[in-house]
Every structure is written in C-alpha cells, then in structure tokens.
Amino acid sequence: MKIGLAQLNIHVGNFKANTEKIIHALRTAEAQGAELVVYSELGICGYPSRDFLEFDDYISRCEAAIDEIAKHTAKTAVLIGAPQRNPNVQGKDLFNSALLLYQGRVQHVTHKTLLPTYDIFDECRYFESNTEFKLFEFKGKKLAITICEDIWNVGNDNPLYTACPMDELIKLKPDVILNLSASPFSYVQHTERINVVRANCLRYALPMVYVNQVGAQTEIIFDGGSVVVGEKGNVLEQLPFFKEEVRVWTLAEDCGRWTTSDRRWTMDNRRRTLARPPSPTLVPCLSHPRCPGPGY
C-alpha cells in the first residue's frame, strides 16, 4: 500500500485556505499513486485551537471542511485530525480525533487516548479521553491509528500515564502504526521524538508512519521532521524541518519493510517544497519540570 505523508503548515481557524491546501496535497500524493494520505493532528482546524473549540460555530466549520474534503476521496483516502462532538452528555463535549475519509464519507474515527496537560498543552480542558480501541482495515492492511501523545508513554524513564494505547491495539494484530502529530520545536525535541518512535516500533515490532505539522501558532513553533521508521527501529526516511512537503512511500507486502525504490518527491517529481516558512529563532525548551521532555 502506498502511503502519502502530508507535512503542512495549517493555520488555526483558516478553514478555506486549510481545506484548499489539504486537497492540493491529496491531489499531489494521488498523482504519485498514493492510496492513503496521512496528515497532522487537528489538521482540519489547526493546533492548538484552544478556546475556539468552545464555540459551536467553530466545530460546525470543521464539519463543513470535512464534508468538502471527503468529496475528493473517490480514489485516495485521507487520514486527518479534527475535533469530534461527544454524543454522551457526560464528560467533555469533544474528542480529539483522527478521521479516515474515503469514497465521499467518513469511514472510521479514532479518538485520542492520552491528553497532555502540562507546559503549553491543556487538552483535558477541551477533550474527552478515548476508551475504545479498534483497528481499521484498508487495502488489505490493518491500521493502528494513534494521535501524538498516544505513543509518548513508551521509551522514557518517567511515564506520565498508566496506560499505553498501543498495548491494546497490538492485541488486534495491526500491520502498521500511523501517528498524527502536532509536536512543537525545542532544542532536544527531534532526538526525543525519534527515540520515542523507535521505542514503539521495537516494542510492537511494527513500522510507523509519523506525520508532524510545520509553521507556527503565536509563540508555538512546529518543526515538521515527519518520519518513516521500520519495525527494527531504523529511520527509513526523514522529511525536512520547517518546510511543507508531501512524500509517498510504499508498505511492502510482508509489512515489516518499506520499499525505497518508490520514494518520490511529489511536487513535480523534483526536490521542491510547497512553501518555506521562515526559520525560527532558537528558544529554550519550556518543558514541565516533572516531564522528561516536551513530551510530544
């Protein structure tokens, strides 16, 4: 199965421009044979949306954007993050979710389990935590879909949570882990991020596609650096930092290897990026003192 990684600069609340960019990335990956394109956490509306999430009109605009993008998924599926309403009157009103869109509609929804509430993160303020664990089978592959912090309880000496979502999903025998992220930049974040992804791949003996966003939201900088990592923890591909890019990879039939012969830069088949956000000024890490790192 050919999977596209769409590393984009999504602006909070800019629904028209975001939707156009998402569809353009879909078409770019689709032209290179992608069957599924993976985007970042809350890629529909931008991360972090903060108190915008408390406005019904904001959520309605997210839903309208999802409907519009779904119209373009006749051939290629989209996996993208968005807030979803909680049908249960008990608990928070929303979930932080990943939606798989295909053939014009939402085919599957996964909710985020581990909600960070430290440093710049305040997800427990807005979102209800997931309690159900399911895979989604697509093109003959069983997908374990996770959202950012869901993989961060593995590979560190001081876990912040008592549960690991992949411990539940691995019981269902997935073929690959997909992770939608909004992981901010710090001096040490790239090293910690790679270590966590590798630790998950080694622990569960599965490859992982990890897609992060780029750009900035007020004081928060996102550096991209999306990766494909094999089941043995080897980094097979690293997307650039601080640049938008779409790239397509092929999951081999045995699911343990990713082929490199099909690797392509998907903008006119050249080393070209969608845009170049300005390089940020380095700032000190703002990690919570109780956390081993930014934790994302």
**Number of alpha carbons in the 13 Å side-chain half-sphere of residue 201:** 25
What tens digit of pLDDT does each residue of 45-80 get?
999 999 999 999 999 999 999 999 999 999 999 999
Q: How many other C-beta atoms can be found within 10 angstroms of the C-beta atom of residue 217?
A: 20
Q: Is the pLDDT of residue 287 over 50?
A: no
Among 58-72, 134-148, 160-174, 245-259, the minimum mean pLDDT is found in 245-259
| pLDDT bracket for residue 158 (50, 70, 90) | confident
* Residue 141 is a catalytic residue: no
- In whole angstroms, what is the distance from residue 5 CA to residue 248 CA? 6
Q: What are the angstrom distances between the C-alpha of 259 and each of 8, 243, 249? A: 24, 24, 7
SS3 195: helix
* Residue 20 is a catalytic residue: no
- In whole angstroms, what is the distance from residue 34 CA to residue 210 CA? 16
Q: What are the angstrom distances between the C-alpha of 201 and each of 55, 155, 170? A: 38, 10, 11
Residues contacting residue 295 through CB under 8 Å, at least 6 positions apart: 116, 118, 119, 121, 149, 152, 160, 287, 288
Q: Is the pLDDT of residue 157 over 90?
A: no
Catalytic residue among 148, 149, 201, 231: 148
Q: Is the pLDDT of residue 261 over 60?
A: no
Instruction: Decide if 245 contacts 211 (C-beta within 8 A).
Output: no
> CA nearest 293: which of 199, 201, 166?
199
- In whole angstroms, what is the distance from residue 237 CA to residue 195 CA? 15
pTM exceeds cut of 0.85? yes
> CA nearest 111: which of 132, 126, 91?
132
| pLDDT, position 253 | 66
91, containing H or E segment: none
* Residue 2 is a catalytic residue: no
| pLDDT, position 255 | 52
What tens digit of pLDDT does each residue of 212-260 get?
999 999 899 999 999 999 999 999 999 999 999 999 999 876 554 444 3
- In whole angstroms, what is the distance from residue 168 CA to residue 166 CA? 5
Catalytic residue among 2, 30, 35, 41: 41
Q: Is the pLDDT of residue 292 over 60?
A: no
- In whole angstroms, what is the distance from residue 6 CA to residue 48 CA? 18
Catalytic residue among 2, 21, 112, 243: 112
- In whole angstroms, what is the distance from residue 237 CA to residue 259 CA? 11
Q: Is the pLDDT of residue 181 over 80?
A: yes
| pLDDT, position 54 | 98
Average pLDDT over residues 87-109: 97
Q: What are the angstrom distances between the C-alpha of 220 and each of 83, 101, 123, 239? A: 20, 29, 15, 20
